[in-house]
Amino acid sequence: MDSPGSFRLSFASLRMPFSDGVKYTLLGISVSLFAIAALILTWQLYQYFKRKPKPSGKVKSYQSVDDKQAGKTIFEAADKESDIQKHDYKVQKLEDEIKKLSRCLSATSSISEQDSADFQSITEADAQMNIHGKLRFSVSYNREQSQFAVTVLDATDLPVRDFSQSTNPFVKVKLLSGLLSKQPNLQCVLQEWETKTVKNSRNPVFGSQFSCPLTEKELKTITLKLEVRDFDRFSRHSVLGELRTHLNNLNLLSHPVEISEELQKLNKDSVGEILLSLKYLPTAQRIEVGLLKIKTASLTSNQDKALYARVTIVCNQCRLKHQKTSLKSKWGITVFNEVLTFSLLDSNIRECVIAVSVYETIVHQKNSKRLIGQAILGKRKAGEDEHWCLMMQSLRQPIAKWHSLLI
């Protein structure tokens, strides 16, 4: 067994298998790394003691220039953040006001076409401005093909809106028939078209042509109605006027006829009737609108078509609430027997207007809805209608009455 002295001797006799050049190189690298580490440590200590505030024997606190600058920067950042928050609050408040105003004026984005139609019908009578201007169009009939055609040519000297001093006109064309509806005093809408919208023009040129098949017998019962409207993306479409022409008075069988006439005030046409019941519950602050039956001027019954109604509550020209019924297959007299309940403040109930819009849609076909008529009842500028007065006089009792569907 080896002794400890021999072990130490053998360990001391060990030699590294490197040349002297390599050894000195490694030693130089080690010394360089140590010097760099020492410099870094010295620099960090210097920075630390430089930032540390110096003690003072005075009672008054002392801050270095850097601390004052840092504090000033913090306060400036806080002020900027406060200004940003105030600005965001003002922007949010302004957006809320805009949304509230847009609901009153009628949308987009988020507001649907049904909402616009309901609100437009309520305010349309008051929205008609001074009617003036001319509309020029032509009509023709091809006896061989039994094809009727109408061409909307142009308009001149249309009025402008007061707030924008411009107009974006378009023309809605309707073919109405009173005899084909098989019901007295009711019109049946056979066809309905719209021209393109001409932007910023009081003298627009349309050049839109529409056609449909008609027999000579049907041609004699048709009334051509052209409604000139002002398109508004953010509000309701203003009414600029209308023209009506009875095709029986025109000699279309021999040659085309071109017509240019002054615009007249828009008149509604009765296209059906709706049986509504109203009940006012003052204690519960509710009003119940019962939609019982709808009678339409339909040529034939078509089970592929269905009807539904949308009831909108409007107060001070602002839409408050709306509901719609379920779909029912369309017949000459369509039975609903549905009651829609609206909870409103008593002040709103006594000042509100109820708009009932009836839509026709094709079953299993998307985007096929079409407004066929509207009934408006409640408190308006012209006064309260009879049905509304009876409801307010007969509290907690349902009162039913027929109303005309107008288009």
pLDDT at 298: 67
| Contact present, 227 and 266 (Cβ < 8 Å) | yes
How many degrees, rounded to 5, is the angle at CA 120 between CA 114 and CA 125? 155
Question: What is the spatial distance between Cα 230 and Cα 181, in angstroms, rounded to a whole number?
Answer: 30
What are the extents of the domains in the chain? Answer: 134-262, 270-406
CATH 2.40.10.340 for the 134-262 domain, yes or no:
no
Question: What is the spatial distance between Cα 143 and Cα 130, in angstroms, rounded to a whole number?
Answer: 40
Question: What is the spatial distance between Cα 137 and Cα 278, in angstroms, rounded to a whole number?
Answer: 45
Q: Which tokens in the block code for residue 290?
A: 């019962």
What number of other Cβ atoms are within 10 A of residue 259's Cβ? 15
What number of other Cβ atoms are within 10 A of residue 33's Cβ? 10
Q: Alpha helices of 13-64 — where are they, by DSSP H? A: 20-51
Question: What is the spatial distance between Cα 355 and Cα 322, in angstroms, rounded to a whole number?
Answer: 9
Q: Which of 399, 349, 403, 351 is closest to 376 using CA atoms?
A: 403
Q: Which tokens in the block code for residue 215?
A: 């027999």
Question: Considering the domain 270-406 in this protein, what is its CATH number?
Answer: 2.60.40.150
pTM above 0.85, yes or no: no
Digitized pLDDT (tens) for each residue of the chain, 407 residues in all: 455 555 554 544 555 566 778 888 888 898 999 999 999 999 888 888 877 555 544 444 444 445 555 555 555 655 666 666 666 666 666 666 665 555 554 433 333 444 455 555 555 544 555 788 999 999 999 999 999 999 999 999 998 876 667 889 999 999 998 765 556 678 888 899 999 999 999 999 999 999 999 998 888 889 999 999 998 876 667 889 999 999 988 888 888 999 999 999 989 999 999 999 999 999 999 999 999 999 987 655 566 889 999 999 998 878 889 999 999 999 889 999 999 999 988 888 888 899 999 999 988 888 788 899 999 998 776 666 889 999 999 999 999 999 999 98
Pairing of strands 286-296, 270-281: antiparallel
| Contact present, 198 and 170 (Cβ < 8 Å) | yes
Q: Which tokens in the block code for residue 298?
A: 């339909």
For residue 226, how far is the Cα from the chain centroid? Answer: 26
SS3 391: helix
Give residue 224's identity as a one-letter amino acid code. Answer: L
Question: What is the spatial distance between Cα 188 and Cα 373, in angstroms, rounded to a whole number?
Answer: 11
Give 356's contacts (C-beta < 8 A, 6+ positions apart): 274, 276, 289, 291, 309, 310, 311, 374, 375, 376, 377, 403
pLDDT at 60: 44
Q: Do domains 134-262 and 270-406 have the same CATH topology?
A: yes
How is the beta sheet containing 188-194 ordered, strand by strand?
Answer: 188-194, 169-177, 222-230, 238-246
